[in-house]
Structure 1
Amino acid sequence: MKLLLRLATSLLLWIIMMVILVLIILLPRDMEVKRIGVKDHMSYHFTWSGYKENIQQYLADVKENKTLGTSVAHQPVEWELAHYGKRSIAILVPALIISFLIGILKGVFDYRRNRGLWKVLGEGTTWLGQSIPDFFIIIILELIISLTIHRMFPHLQLYGIEHWYNIFLPILFLSMYPAAVIANYTTQALKEEDDQDYIRTARAKGLPETIILWKHVLRNCWSKILIHFMPIILTLLSSMVIVEYMTLYRGMGTRLMEAIKIKDTIASTDTILPIETPTVIGFSLEFMIILLLAQWVNQVIKHFLIPVRKDEHT
């Protein structure tokens, strides 16, 4: 019952945030441009009547046409949400799985090899992976790729969306930083289990260290690792826009940025800042729905793992 209440509360809060977000997007963007001498001066005047008219007009269009709107390509927004959303999910889900798998393995390695040069190669590289901005690492890797793979395989097109293998590079870039973060969480969780009574008991029974680590210690760390599920999702979604842009992968992130891109020049003296309002609303809601689902998963994990964690040493 408590879990259902938490899920319902999350749903209500996210619906409220979605409504607020839509109201922000529908703010009037009427700009007045005047030329004084050789300079153009822009001014913005907000009016509640204009704001009310925007909201009423959009809701009327949605009700009449049974759609969130139409994009500049004359496609229903729902079609674009499915088309570009499918591409982003194709890199987001594998990147999430790879991040946890590689991150946990790296965290175990850092925990076991924590002396001398091994510590530098272990925790040192994990710290480096978290400290250096991911876009900088992506630039370095792209430079290496251009100097090696492109020279050896000039016909291999790693960027774009034309070929089936174009998803591999975005998945790799997207999973790098979260994997380093999860590795750090795993190492810290394992260190917190040091000298626990159940570990001393297992060693007294003569169990090998590998079995103690993988069968007992790591099992008791699952709740501490998986509790960071929501922050990892937020990291992946925020990085996805940059990764898609830098790999020419047209997914949700790049399409949303195109929809909100404001032109550098104003064409007339009375104009509206040119954004695709229906498209921006659609993709913003799609991102928020993904976050809602991620929060539900996070709450389910907390509900089922944390109570078990309390009784594991009894």
Structure 2
Amino acid sequence: MAKYIGKRLVTGILSLFVLATVTFFLTRVIPGSPFQGANVSESVLQMMEEEYGLHQPAGVQYVTYMKHLLRGNLGYSYQNPSESVANIIQRSWPVTAVIGVLAILLAMIVGIGIGVWQTFSRHKLLRGGLFTGTLLIGGVPNFVAALLLMLVFGVWLKWLPVSGLDSWKNYILPVCALALYPACSLARLTGTLLAQEKQRDYVLLARTKGLKKRQILFTHILPHIWIPVLNYLGPASAFLLTGSFVVESIFTIPGLGRQFVSSIANRDYTLILGLTIFMGAVVILIQLAVDLLSACIDPRVRRSYVDEE
């Protein structure tokens, strides 16, 4: 297992290197300059670019950036030279992480709950309605869901605030907007898996022994569906924990997503690179954690990892 973890970490580092390289050269292809929006003359603009080394060939800039990156230096924001990229990430990441974790928990509770209800309900019409509802609602993009939630609960009913993070109420709308799609996907996935497991021989045997439905569900069926559920939650969690660019911008949340959108709009190369590398690292670590958790739950997965060594 240790060799497997080491192999995954090395692969992750190489992936981050490729990601950083591709992102670096993509930023250099973007037309314009980080300082182009400033009301300065052409000579002053040229002087500012020389100060930050932007007048040098892209290859020279790349080598310089990689040297700093290997020393753990992500550089400073072009738009806010007094603040380092690391400080911006340190300030923005907790906001995004809290909203992401809450959205994941809400999606799990609602999604798995609907999946169980849909599978074990005796009413055929209700089962069909739940499946169709999750299919239709899950197809709504999160930015559309965010705008609708804001319009209904913030503007019309005036029940909840629509911007900022001044109180716990400010978290409700963005968390719901982010949790909507994964909750619907989890509901359909859970429903499908449970419907398959219900027909297994071990479930029929448990029924003949006179076990209650709740006991069969929690003791026998649910443990068999956790691996597929975890495999879905890995990428979904990575997406939520790195921030939804549009949702954070709609609700003016000072998280990673909004910082990323702002950095692209301002051509803030160092901030774009720093945020991309950080979010890539989060995705890689979350996927590794999900794989290890799957190995802890299912011995078959653990044996497959050992065989890879």
1:296 aligned to 2:304?
no
User: Residues 86, 234 of structure 1: CA spacing in aligned structure 2 closer, same or farther, 3 A cutoff?
Assistant: closer
For 2:263, the equivalent position in structure 1 comes to 259
For 2:204, the equivalent position in structure 1 comes to 200
Displacement of 1:239 in angstroms is: 6.8
* Separation in structure 2 between the aligned mates of residue 171 and residue 131 of structure 1, nearest angstrom: 17
For 2:111, the equivalent position in structure 1 comes to 103
For 2:49, the equivalent position in structure 1 comes to none
1:275 aligned to 2:276?
no
Q: What is the correspondence of 1:112-131 to structure 2 with a 5 Å cutoff?
A: 112-113=120-121, 115-131=123-139
List per-residue Cα deviations over 1:226-253 (Å, max 9, x = no partner): 1212231354368711211121212111
Displacement of 1:72 in angstroms is: 1.6
* Separation in structure 2 between the aligned mates of residue 287 and residue 108 of structure 1, nearest angstrom: 33
Contact 1:3–1:299 (Cα < 8 Å) also in 2: no
Residue from 142, 158, 162 that aligns with 2:162: 158
List per-residue Cα deviations over 1:9-40 (Å, max 9, x = no partner): 432342333332343245355669xxxxxxxx
User: Residues 70, 229 of structure 1: CA spacing in aligned structure 2 closer, same or farther, 3 A cutoff?
Assistant: same
For 1:224, the equivalent position in structure 2 comes to 228
For 1:42, the equivalent position in structure 2 comes to none
Pick the structure with greater CA Rg: 1
Displacement of 1:286 in angstroms is: 1.4
Residue from 176, 179, 182 that aligns with 1:178: 182
Query: What secondary structure sits across from 1:93 in the alignment?
Result: helix
1:50 aligned to 2:57?
yes
For 1:10, the equivalent position in structure 2 comes to 11
Query: What secondary structure sits across from 2:134 in the alignment?
Result: helix
Residue identity over aligned pairs, in percent, reads: 21
Residue from 297, 301, 305 that aligns with 1:305: 297
Contact 1:7–1:299 (Cα < 8 Å) also in 2: no
Contact 1:6–1:299 (Cα < 8 Å) also in 2: no
Displacement of 1:256 in angstroms is: 0.9
The aligned amino acid for 1:24 is F
List per-residue Cα deviations over 1:182-224 (Å, max 9, x = no partner): 1111111111112211111111111112221122111221122
Residue from 81, 91, 100 that aligns with 1:83: 91
Query: What secondary structure sits across from 1:53 in the alignment?
Result: helix
Which structure shows the bigger proportion of residues in helix conformation? 2
Contact 1:27–1:54 (Cα < 8 Å) also in 2: no
**Structure 1 residue runs without a partner (length 5+):** 33-48, 262-273
User: Residues 188, 3 of structure 1: CA spacing in aligned structure 2 closer, same or farther, 3 A cutoff?
Assistant: farther
The aligned amino acid for 2:272 is V
The aligned amino acid for 2:154 is S
For 1:70, the equivalent position in structure 2 comes to 77
Displacement of 1:164 in angstroms is: 4.4
- Compare 134-143 and 196-205 and name the one that shifted more: 134-143
* Separation in structure 2 between the aligned mates of residue 209 and residue 307 of structure 1, nearest angstrom: 26
**Structure 2 residue runs without a partner (length 5+):** 34-55, 304-309
Q: TM-score, normalised by structure 1?
A: 0.78
Displacement of 1:172 in angstroms is: 1.5
Which structure shows the bigger proportion of residues in strand conformation? 1
* Separation in structure 2 between the aligned mates of residue 224 and residue 237 of structure 1, nearest angstrom: 20
Corresponding pairs, count: 280
The aligned amino acid for 2:77 is T
The aligned amino acid for 1:120 is G
